[in-house]
Structure 1
């Protein structure tokens, strides 16, 4: 006679308990990731309030957080017949800056990734171009912005060109390094199976290079953001960089801080979007 034993775990079995514990651990991890940034912002606000109230620094240099908040409201609305700052609301300044950054980054990253693929695949070309990329990467944006203004005028062309030149080296260097570091074993195996050079690049080199290339793209966006105030030195209004530059001329520290926070927070959002795209596009990162 056969005896069948039901071994399915019940609600109190270790397996279910393990699942519950793992689920609880995930929720605790998510909660921690959400709470810690908020806690750091709160601590920063408290330290800022204490520093402003201490009287060590003049209010021109370290205004109260409430003063900066009021400046944010003023720049974002129409008050006493005045529309925002210099006739534009904060979102209009931010829109113009983001449009310039997007155009510059798109051009710089596209050229940088393409250049990196070529440099990584052709050693002699890498030897020729790498010093020039290093030279460009070492230059601060202001070093060549005035030259771009002389060549291209003071409209949008020098701004977008500056942002593209700021973004290009990071994308190119990261892509070059990723292509050079492509697994030799996989490359040789593909060739042994009859793959052409273009197929090896498409099916082996590019997928293996994508994780580091995305890192380079994120760095390129950061470099472009760091150059945006320089790009908007001339004829930069509307634009957050132009807003910061103009407000600094009048020692208007609250508005300067509003512009800085606008650039920083929008940069965080864009970096988060890039991380989400990277996670979906390169799901194998860290797993192989």
Structure 2
């Protein structure tokens, strides 16, 4: 071997063994039968709480219903205190067709839905702007924060007599009571959402020439949407809770009125049926809010 060939072999040596013939083709890797799937965000390290809980929820509900069947059909509890699921379903059919307290179940449900969702719509139209103003303006925070924080911990039954004295016992008093119960948590959630906006996003918007109004509507409001949706879900739950208190006074229809009237006559089957109907509509609305949140706030938990 000449000197030039030796130097070429030192600096450009091949990874193949020296005894291998020069015309041997490189070895090919066998194709994978099962290719690895792309890793989702959080799978590599395990984000706490990630994954679907549908199966667990179904098993939990089935366990509760099965326990209810077992306890009532084995006569471990008297029907006066806990009627069986069959008795509740039979009463549901009777109230849906013949009615209870001069109104059918559909009429009771319709009146309650109008009261709760009417108050909820008014609260969204007023509490969200107030919460946003409290978050972006110290003057608005100083004006609205003391009264909201004062009456927020109070139970609705505490100021119900005052509302009756001021506004009477008509429909307006019932809607107002539910409205006040929803207003406080929704306004506080909107303020918390505004205060949680990253300052880097605000500075970036200003550096690109955005005005204060554009920053509020296009940066702050969008960043505060997750907290606002959480406040809406909490608020509607408080609204359903307050519905029973609102329908205690001078009411002749409504789900809360039906439950309270049935309790006076020890009709436990009607009471449980009314509770199930209220919980059903509250759950349906909560699921709807979750779906709307996934559509409008797809970046939640990803940025």
* TM-score by shorter chain over 0.5: yes
Q: Match for residue 115 of structure 1?
A: 130
1:141-160 matched pairs, under 5 angstroms: 141-160=156-175
Q: Match for residue 40 of structure 1?
A: 60
Q: Is the 8 A contact 1:93 1:237 kept in 2?
A: no
Q: Match for residue 209 of structure 1?
A: 224
Cα drift, residue 229 of structure 1? 0.5
| Whole-angstrom distance in 2 between the partners of 1:264 and 1:136 | 26
Q: Match for residue 25 of structure 1?
A: none
Q: Is the 8 A contact 1:119 1:176 kept in 2?
A: yes
Report Cα offsets for 1:134-168 as digits up to 9, x if no partner.
22211111111222222222221011111110110
Cα drift, residue 58 of structure 1? 3.3
User: Paired residue for 1:50, among 67, 70, 77?
Assistant: 70
User: Paired residue for 1:140, among 128, 150, 155?
Assistant: 155
Secondary structure (helix, strand or coil) at the match of 2:249 reads: coil
| Whole-angstrom distance in 1 between the partners of 2:37 and 2:54 | 24
Report Cα offsets for 1:25-57 as digits up to 9, x if no partner.
xxxxxx974443332222112222333356554
Q: Match for residue 181 of structure 1?
A: 196
Cα drift, residue 116 of structure 1? 0.4
Please list every run of 5 or more consecutive structure 2 residues that lacks an aligned counterpart in the other structure: 1-24, 41-50
| Whole-angstrom distance in 2 between the partners of 1:183 and 1:33 | 31
| Whole-angstrom distance in 1 between the partners of 2:298 and 2:58 | 28
| Whole-angstrom distance in 2 between the partners of 1:168 and 1:215 | 13
Q: Match for residue 264 of structure 1?
A: 279
Secondary structure (helix, strand or coil) at the match of 1:138 reads: coil
Higher alpha-carbon Rg: 2
Q: Match for residue 86 of structure 1?
A: 101
- Higher mean C-alpha deviation, range 46-55 or range 221-230: 46-55
1:187-202 matched pairs, under 5 angstroms: 187-202=202-217
Q: Could you tell me the TM-score, scaled by structure 1's length?
A: 0.85
Q: Match for residue 231 of structure 1?
A: 246
Report Cα offsets for 1:265-284 as digits up to 9, x if no partner.
11000100111111111111
Q: Could you tell me the TM-score, scaled by structure 2's length?
A: 0.81
| Whole-angstrom distance in 1 between the partners of 2:108 and 2:140 | 41
Secondary structure (helix, strand or coil) at the match of 1:212 reads: helix
| Whole-angstrom distance in 2 between the partners of 1:282 and 1:245 | 40
User: Do the aligned partners of residues 145 and 188 (structure 1) sit closer, same or farther apart at CA in structure 2, a change above 3 Å counting?
Assistant: same
Cα drift, residue 252 of structure 1? 0.9
Q: Is the 8 A contact 1:244 1:255 kept in 2?
A: yes
Cα drift, residue 103 of structure 1? 0.4
Q: Is the 8 A contact 1:108 1:163 kept in 2?
A: no
User: Paired residue for 2:118, among 69, 91, 103?
Assistant: 103
Report Cα offsets for 1:88-126 as digits up to 9, x if no partner.
221221111111111000111221101001100112331
Please list every run of 5 or more consecutive structure 1 residues that lacks an aligned counterpart in the other structure: 23-30, 78-82
RMSD between aligned residues: 2.8
Report Cα offsets for 1:179-198 as digits up to 9, x if no partner.
11211111122222222111
Q: Match for residue 75 of structure 1?
A: 95
